[in-house]
Structure 1
Amino acid sequence: MSISNTFKEFCQSIKLVDNNVWTNRFKRITKKINEKYYDNPDDDSGHRLRVGSTGRYTATSDASDYDLLYSLPWSTYDRFDSHEHGQSDLLQEVKKCIKETYSKTDISADGQVVDVNFNNGLIEVVPAFENDDKSFQYPDTHKGGSWKTTNPRPEKDQCKDDDSNSAGTFRDLTRMIRVWKNHQGFVFQGILIDTLVHNFYKENKDDVNSLSYSSYPQLMYNLFQYLSKQDSDQTFWHALGSNQLIEVKDKHFIKKAEAACNSLDGIDMDDEDEVLDTFKSLFGYQFSKVANNSNASSNEEFASSFFRSIDIQGTFDIKCVVKRKGFRNHSIAFFKDNYSALFKSSQLVFCVENEKFPEKYEKSKVTYYWKIRNYGTEARKAECLRGMIKKGERTHIETTRYTNMHHYVECYAVVDDIVIARTKVIVPIGEE
């Protein structure tokens, strides 16, 4: 398949498309809220605003979280503002209201939202109050409770304008960056992605507006360069459209973008095989299946299709101890540095450590899955090519058997069938 057709099909395949199941859920929740707060049980669309990445339509096709902001009457604000724990009480009342419609659904209220947890995704309901300038006040239960301000409409409008002016390229870029960060396994806030792509677009508007799909590899290279040159000491950015502050603690995207540039440096952008192979490594299975990756093992499983969704929100490390007769226990790095590879018949003990997940993900809820991927003639002859994803524990043990420098172990931290973090360890195995 040509470069142009591959990128065209890939961008179409990762495009967020609304479906009736979710639309009907939005309507049912809206109808119930409007019945309670506006005495209008027939209104299934009013006072609702879709926000977040799905509201800006920059999310990918496997999005599992939908953010809905509901504008409530100011009389409701006055009623709860006088409470000692008004923000928490408001969330609990909205939770109770939605529970009347979804009585058997897991619904929780904490922080800033009411979470409606379905078996195939989540709706986050934000009760809010519209200000004269079209921004919104919303509750925050942290640190004793307070009212905070958000202004999502200009952000939605800016995304819509950029996408229209670029004939769809803007949202293509935001979605491809999301696929990249989820495959590479690092945290990159959705609003920051959209903001940085917007800033890149502003600086390259004339070039971007005249591009075709055949130019997407070079365009992505240019975008990776732009991301790699962001200031690692910068602590906040101004959101597109609204100019709201985006506080950023995790800036792994800068080094990851630099690595992406390095992988693209030196390849011939007109060489179909070189380009597609490189972007397979950057984007993973979602791109490979469009590009007809004939090298994939027939029994290999991929996180993108195995789990409901990938939404990287945290990080963890894998420590690997190599146990080998005649040696002290060492790390993989020791053998790579001193022998270039591991020896056969070594025992490998992989262990999860240094988890950094959002507070809402308690450790007891996180489940770990492991993928052992091996390559090479020896493994193929022994009919032991592997690539299956299996549920496991925080510790996983393997034995080195087949020579190849590209074997790897990947681990996924999963909550409710959503990958929230992933990491990978290359396991080169050489001859004695």
Structure 2
Amino acid sequence: MSVADNFRAFRANYLIPSATVSNISYRYKRITRQLNKDFWNTESETAHSLYVGSYGRDTAANGVSDLDVAFTLPNSVYQKYNGYAGNGQSALLQAVRDSIGRTYANSYVGADGQVVAINFTDGIRFEILPVFVNTENTFTFADTNNGGSWKVCDPRGEMSFFSARDSVTANGNLKAIGRMARIWRDRHSVPMSGMLIDTLAYQWISDWAHRDKSYLYHDYLVRDFMLYLSQIPSTQTYWRAPGSGSYVYKKGNFQTAAATAYQAALSAIDHEANERPATARNKWREIFGPTYP
């Protein structure tokens, strides 16, 4: 098989399986319907709800465990909880928690910090962020920490910037490296959030020489992104997310693992060039594990 064939087969393995997508959609609709019933007096399964995070940016990969959903509430609800004498934000999250609990009474539903989380027995966790839409099309959300406050985020701006760079500039390679990097991260327990992976990939790919190519260059895509990650100064602690400018902080050292992956990619490419496909496959599996075919 050619390099392109191998990475096409890899993609088939790292994409989220259709059965998992169906389960996610089913739960998303049930949660949305219950929240709409309680807060909007409608039983729509889609209105006022939005996938955000990695799933919303379409960079989530097989093995995804966290699903982020923003649910828009009426402005009257903001007025009600903003008028509380103390931590109306916590009371808001409890109201959302109680609503979801009416549908998922047998699942763990907890409110903590900024989200209401639902843990399912298959290991998937939904995190619902209750939001209010601002005139700038950003969201205001509740933060229950330190006595409670309101904060602003812009996931729609992030998704818009990310999607535009992927389709217009990168020929789909931005989403591809985001997914492959998650497989690598999960395989080696690299301390990187999905938002950090996507932010760094977004910054890097605009200058990547082969950004307009396809699967034939995916071995270079992996090699060059890992080199980029390995060379980021360890003293840098945060970056700014595309589209929103939100701060994205590192969780720990990822450069060492990236340097190891870069060396393995160099070796894999060399073995491919010298017609040693079995050895090349083993090197790619050092990076990605058995998800690589």
Relative to the length of structure 1, the TM-score reads 0.63
What residue in structure 2 maps to residue 278 of structure 1?
283
8 Å Cα contact 1:217-1:275 kept in structure 2 = no
Corresponding position: 1:158 with 2:158: no
1:34 aligned residue = 36
Q: Which residue of 1 aligns with 2:67?
A: 66
Letter in 1 for 2:3: I
Distance 1:231 1:207 in 2: 24
AA in 2 matched with 1:182 = D
After TM superposition, the structure 1 stretch with the greater mean CA deviation from structure 2, 232-241 or 165-174, is 165-174
SS of 2:103 mapped into structure 1: coil
Q: Residue type matched to 1:81 in 2?
A: N
Instruction: Determine the C-alpha separation between the residues in 1 that align with 2:9 and 2:165.
Output: 21
Aligned to 2:8: 8
Residue 56 (1) aligns with residue 61 (2):
no
| 1:247 and 2:249 correspond | yes
Q: CA deviation at 1:70?
A: 0.6
Task: Tell me what 2:120 maps to.
Answer: 118
The separation in 2 between residues aligned to 1:264 and 1:21, in whole angstroms, is: 35
Query: Structure 2 counterpart of 1:5, which letter?
Result: D
> Cα distance, 1:265 vs. partner?
4.0
Percent identity reads 33
Offset of 1:73 from its aligned partner? 1.2
Give the counterpart letter for 2:71 in structure 1: Y
Report how far residue 193 of structure 1 moved: 0.3
SS of residue paired to 1:207? coil
Is 1:130 aligned to 2:133, yes or no? yes
Tell me, in whole angstroms, the C-alpha distance in 1 between the residues paired with 2:42 and 2:266.
60
Deviation at 1:249, TM superposition (A): 4.1
Q: Within 5 Å, which residues of 2 pair with 1:332-343?
A: none
Q: 1:142 aligns with which of 145, 166, 181?
A: 145
Structure 1 Cα separation of the partners of residues 205 and 190 of structure 2: 23
- What is the rounded CA distance, in whole Å, between the counterparts of 1:154 and 1:275 in structure 2? 40
Secondary structure at the residue paired with 1:203?
Answer: coil
Question: How far off is 1:277 after superposition?
Answer: 2.1
Confirm whether residue 214 of structure 1 aligns to residue 216 of structure 2. yes
2:198 paired residue among 194, 199, 214? 194
- Aligned to 2:183, the other structure's residue is in SS state helix
- Is the Cα–Cα contact under 8 Å of residues 49 and 72 in structure 2 kept in the other structure? yes
Q: What CA deviation, in whole Å up to 9, does each residue of 1:190-226 have, x standing for no partner? A: 111001111111112x5211x2323221221111111
Map 1:286-301; keep pairs closer than 5 Å: 286-287=291-292, 290=293
Larger fraction in helix: 2
Greater fraction of residues in strand: 1
Give the Cα separation in 2 of the matches to 1:128 and 1:258.
40
**Displacement after TM superposition at 1:257 (Å):** 1.3
> 1:65 Cα deviation (Å)?
1.7
Question: Does the Cα contact within 8 Å between 2:108 and 2:119 map onto a contact in 1?
Answer: yes
Structure 1 residue 241: Cα displacement: 2.1
Give the secondary-structure state (helix, strand or coil) at the position aligned to 1:107.
strand
User: Per-residue deviation at 1:231?
Assistant: 2.0
The alpha carbon displacement at 1:141 in A equals: 1.4
SS of the equivalent of 2:210 reads: helix
Deviation at 1:48, TM superposition (A): 0.7
- Match of 2:243, SS state, is coil
Residue identity in the other structure for 2:225: L
Equivalent position SS for 1:58: coil
Q: How far 1:183 moved relative to its partner? A: 0.9
Whether 1:173 and 2:177 are equivalent positions in the alignment is yes
> CA separation in 2, counterparts of 1:178 and 1:253?
12
1:85-139 CA distances to partner (integer Å, 9 max, x unpaired)? 2111111111111111222222111111111122121111111111111111111
* Whole-Å separation in 2 of the counterparts to 1:35 and 1:265: 55
- Number of equivalenced pairs: 284
Task: Mark the CA change 1:215 to 1:111 in structure 2 (over 3 Å): closer, same or farther.
Answer: same
Unaligned runs of 5+ in 2: none
8 Å Cα contact 1:3-1:276 kept in structure 2? no
The two structures, once aligned, show a CA RMSD in angstroms of: 1.7
AA of the residue aligned to 2:152: T
Q: Distance in 2 between matches of 1:276 and 1:241?
A: 37
What secondary structure sits across from 1:67 in the alignment?
strand
Distance 2:187 2:251 in 1: 20
Length-normalised TM-score, structure 2 = 0.91
Give the drift of 1:148. Answer: 1.5
In 2, the alpha carbon distance for the partners of 1:212 and 1:276 equals: 19
- Equivalent AA in structure 2 for residue 144 of structure 1: G
- Determine which structure has greater relative contact order: mean sequence separation of CA pairs < 8 Å that are 6+ residues apart, divided by chain length: 2
**What is the letter of the counterpart of residue 71 of structure 1?**
T
Deviations 1:356-389 (A, max 9, x none): xxxxxxxxxxxxxxxxxxxxxxxxxxxxxxxxxx
1:262 aligned residue: 263
| Amino acid aligned to 2:258 | A
Quote the Cα distance in structure 2 between the aligned partners of 1:28 and 1:97: 11
